[in-house]
Structure 1
Amino acid sequence: MPPISHLIQQRAAAALAALAIDAVFGDPPNHLHPVGVMGRWLRWGERLAPAAPGARLAWGTVWLAGGWVMFGGVAALAPRHWLAQGALASLLLAYHGLDRAVAEVEAALAVGDLAKARRLLGWHLVSRPTNDLSAAEVAGAAIESLAENLSDSVVAPLLALLTGGLPGMVIYRLTNTADAMWGYRTERFEHLGKVAARCDDGFNLAPARLTALLIALAAQLANRRGGVVLAVAWRDARRTASPNAGWPMAAMAGALDTVLTKREHYTLGTGPRIADAALIREARRIGRMVMFLVTGFLFGLSVMRFVKQRSTL
């Protein structure tokens, strides 16, 4: 078995390849997307789930664990070459699609088409009702989704790839998908999705806080607001029901000097700027800077082996 340092360097190279492939090609069609396959597995599990609360809790736990074994086992059979691993890992990243979806909302708001912006927001980015959102609320929700998904769809899966290889990345994405589909406190999902939600919370503890730090670094480079970002994130991150989502969202509010709010749920930041299309554009710029920082870190990890080899010659 290769040493841990060598494994990390190989995985970093695979992560770089995944980012490049995602940037060029984006997501495959939904019916071929591995996350779509995971979604179908989870919908099947929901249809077969028993009705009694205790049995439903046990069923959700077993069904999730079975998915870990099945999907993780398939990922473990993948070719070991870093480029093959990167090609497969790219299917579990979503920055290209995320940025494009946010850009579509920005474009609709920029021309004053609020109805289209609401529709695009609800279609691609949020699960909340959007029909009565104001333009500022639509822009704010798009910015929130961008910030949260920088963690859930980029930083967290890449961290899972570095620490657990492709199987770890697959297990993370299945858990995150299960939380997105089952993680609601309703009669239908309260027990079925409880374990998935708790596992997702645990898996995202480090990535959410790391994403907030990356947003702070990006903001420092972009507009010298890194210190403000950290202060706002530390103060406001706990205002959301999720133990993790508030960190990148509050950090983005601090970076943009604005307020991000969800009616009757939370208010993040205290800045005077009103969310609009221009502010979405700035948020996307911060997101690109975060990607630049992530790429630089992965590049540094992946070339360490070659630097060490040259230093021993």
Structure 2
Amino acid sequence: MSRALGLILGFAADRVLGDPRRYHPVAGFGQVASRLEARWYDDSRAAGTAYASVLVGTATAAGVIAERLTRNRPILHTLVTAAATWTVLGARSLDREAEVMAGLLEEKDIPAARDRLSHLCARDATNLEADELARATVESLAENTSDACVAPLLWGGVLGIPGLLGYRAANTLDAMVGYKSAKYLNFGWAAARLDDVLNLLPARACALLTGLAAGRPRQAVGVWQRDASKHPSPNAGPVEAAFAGALELQLGGRNSYGDYQEDRGTLGGGPPPTVADVRRTAALARRVGVAATGAAAILALTARWSGQRKG
């Protein structure tokens, strides 16, 4: 019960407070990871595997210690779980970025919108116009709703604090080094594969929750089943396809990431996104977050009940 309550309180704290502007624990983890990368970097999978193992293992171990120290103190366990949940979630920050991008695009401030897109994704925005910036924003909102909200909540529901911290560590490393660029193709391989594995089930749960939250489960699941395999990512594909079906849009296409290009296929059968669709996507993402919190609380209670039966 304390785990379920902690997840709900942590989600509420994220919605109300968002990320702290200074001394954010995830930002601190990123700084440590950057320093370790500077020392350990080598263009090899072995070096990248060691790098990811140490960082993710340390974060997970910290979660295990926190669980053990608080497991017989329900109130403290609730508070620590809530704090960990608030720390790892990024739903409110994602929502704020959507608001900023929507405002810039509505004001037709394309240069500022191109600069701001880097807060959501690593896509090269140099030559993107309004509708392409809208597409990039919608796709990033969809993918990050899974990564920054649904997945950590579900891992927290199943494994508690270790699941929250371990998942966020792996996902942060993937965002830092999990690219197919010349520099990170080998070094970032382990971080990218670990993130793929950890998101395998949460991404599909996010796709299902997206259809339910939109009131269009059949359409979302239909596009997911038909088009997700066109996407190069095994996890972003189902999520973006489900959002395309739920919003009746067509997502995907060729994207530039500086020194390499990526074809994400065609997801959905509706019109391409326009500026107005950014706010629609953000509203849907908020509803998905609420649904994911309920699912995580149910998972936490189910895990406790299963443990009692085994006992």
Aligned to 2:163: 168
Aligned to 1:237: 228
User: For structure 2, which runs of at least 5 residues remain unmatched after alignment?
Assistant: 71-76, 255-261, 304-311
Amino acid in the other structure paired with 1:276 = T
Aligned to 1:45: 36
| Alignment root-mean-square deviation, CA | 2.2
Q: In the TM superposition, what are the counterparts of 1:219-234 in structure 2 within 5 Å?
A: 219-220=214-215, 225-234=216-225
Match of 1:61 among 29, 38, 49: 49
* Shift in Å, 1:127: 0.2
Match of 2:123 among 128, 133, 141: 128
| Aligned residue-pair number | 289
- Percent identity between matched residues is 37
Tell me, in whole angstroms, the C-alpha distance in 2 between the residues paired with 1:294 and 1:58: 36
Tell me, in whole angstroms, the C-alpha distance in 2 between the residues paired with 1:158 and 1:261: 27
CA distance change for structure 1 residues 34 and 262 in 2, over 3 Å: closer, same or farther? Answer: farther
Q: Deviations over 1:219-245 (max 9, x none)?
A: 21xxxx321111111111111211111
**8 Å Cα contact 1:259/1:267 also seen in 2:** no
User: Do residues 12 (structure 1) and 4 (structure 2) align?
Assistant: yes
Aligned to 2:259: none
CA distance change for structure 1 residues 269 and 72 in 2, over 3 Å: closer, same or farther? Answer: closer
CA distance change for structure 1 residues 50 and 277 in 2, over 3 Å: closer, same or farther? Answer: closer
User: For structure 1, which runs of at least 5 residues remain unmatched after alignment?
Assistant: 1-8, 306-313
Match of 1:89 among 62, 85, 88: 85
**1:265 is paired with a residue of what secondary structure?**
strand
Amino acid in the other structure paired with 2:2 = Q
User: Do residues 139 (structure 1) and 134 (structure 2) align?
Assistant: yes
CA distance change for structure 1 residues 186 and 115 in 2, over 3 Å: closer, same or farther? Answer: closer
Aligned to 1:111: 107
Tell me, in whole angstroms, the C-alpha distance in 2 between the residues paired with 1:59 and 1:233: 36
Match of 2:284 among 275, 283, 286: 286
Tell me, in whole angstroms, the C-alpha distance in 1 between the residues paired with 2:94 and 2:114: 16
CA distance change for structure 1 residues 237 and 95 in 2, over 3 Å: closer, same or farther? Answer: same
Tell me, in whole angstroms, the C-alpha distance in 1 between the residues paired with 2:276 and 2:159: 39
Aligned to 1:187: 182
Q: Taking structure 1 as the reference length, what is the TM-score of the superposition?
A: 0.85
**8 Å Cα contact 2:248/2:270 also seen in 1:** yes
Aligned to 2:240: 249
Amino acid in the other structure paired with 2:10 = A
Match of 1:205 among 200, 206, 213: 200
Tell me, in whole angstroms, the C-alpha distance in 1 between the residues paired with 2:297 and 2:38: 44
Aligned to 2:145: 150
CA distance change for structure 1 residues 296 and 47 in 2, over 3 Å: closer, same or farther? Answer: closer
Greater mean deviation of Cα atoms: 271-280 or 162-171 = 271-280
Tell me, in whole angstroms, the C-alpha distance in 1 between the residues paired with 2:200 and 2:46: 24
Tell me, in whole angstroms, the C-alpha distance in 1 between the residues paired with 2:107 and 2:138: 18
Amino acid in the other structure paired with 1:98 = L
Amino acid in the other structure paired with 1:118 = R
**2:123 is paired with a residue of what secondary structure?**
coil
CA distance change for structure 1 residues 191 and 269 in 2, over 3 Å: closer, same or farther? Answer: closer
Amino acid in the other structure paired with 1:22 = D
